Amino acid sequence: MAIATLNLKEYKKDASPTEVTIIDYILKNTEETSHMTIYDLSEKTFSSPSTIIRLCKKTGYKGYKDFLKDLIYEQAVRSNYKQKHITELTRTDEIEEIVNKVTYKNILSLEETEKLIDIEMIKECVKQLFECEKLTIFGIGASLLVAKDAQLKFTRIDKMSYVSEDWHTQLLMAKNMGEKDVALVISYSGQTEEMITCAEVAKENGATIISITKTEESPINTLADYPIYVSSNEFSFRSGAMSSRIAQLNVIDILFTTYINKMYEESIEILEKTQIKKERE
């Protein structure tokens, strides 16, 4: 299930001006809002309680109390993570400290990403993957490694998928997509210019867009029909994708395993058939 603030972020692009004001206030004052009555919030946002209730319902809640319950839970989770604060990598770190920091950061990224996973979104993404004629996967830099992992997994179970290391070839593939195809666009930032271009071209051609990005609003997850989010907690010292790559790979594993489970018997047979035996020396 998506967390409360993420529900608001996803709905914001379709919100009315009054709703945008309420959403912006909540996102900027999350801790304070979690202790407010509906009348307190309406006064702070110059709106009516009925408008707030309608906003809550539009974002998947039964009403304000239901929304507040989710928001309070989210704050409790965030508070728990703050208590497990990890200091940044420093020049003076010993190897043991580096091992602990990097390992825990990866664990934390997986835990936070689990909280962001929307089960219904995963179900719908797998449905789209199952029904599409062609799956084309887009990624550049570290995200290309994730794209290639996804391509290998889905090809193994006879869901032919396509990825290229060359960006111009990726753009050509986007230009050749159609209404029965799915584009899986992987970009941690959601801001990579080449990936934005590929997503725009694929969408113009009628393809369904699934994105894997961090939680902040970005051009790519805005373009996506089905946005999936990973935790955004990389070290400030980011010589290369670390915890974000682990989180993205985990999402691919979730999609792949759910896909297999949808056609379990057939998938097991295909996996056995496509296993490459290792000869003993």
What amino acid occupies position 148? K
Residue 223 to residue 242: CA distance in whole angstroms: 25
Predicted pLDDT at 88:
64
Per-run averaged pLDDT (10 residues), the chain, 281 residues: 75 91 93 92 95 94 92 74 57 80 79 85 95 96 94 90 95 97 96 96 98 91 94 56 84 94 73 69 52
Beginning with the edge strand found earlier in the chain, give each strand of the sheet holding 226-230 in spatial order: 161-162, 134-138, 181-186, 208-214, 226-230
CA of residue 127 relative to chain centroid, distance = 17
CA torsion, ordered 53, 54, 55, 58, to nearest 10 deg = 130
Q: Which helix (H) or strand (E) holds 116?
A: helix 95-116
**Domain boundaries along the sequence of the chain:** 4-81, 119-274
Task: Please state which architecture CATH assigns to domain 119-274.
Answer: 3-Layer(aba) Sandwich (3.40)
The predicted model scores a pTM of 0.70
- Give phi and psi for 138, each to the nearest 5: -120, 135
Predicted pLDDT at 104:
76
Predicted pLDDT at 138:
98
What amino acid occupies position 182? V
Token pair for residue 85? 């604060």
Token pair for residue 106? 């990866």
Residue 267 to residue 278: CA distance in whole angstroms: 21
Q: Enter the CATH code of domain 4-81.
A: 1.10.10.10
Predicted pLDDT at 39:
95
Residue 108 to residue 119: CA distance in whole angstroms: 20
Predicted pLDDT at 1:
43
Residue whose tokens read 């979730």 = 254
Predicted pLDDT at 236:
46
- Give phi and psi for 98, each to the nearest 5: -65, -45
Q: What is the mean pLDDT of the chain?
A: 86
Predicted pLDDT at 193:
96
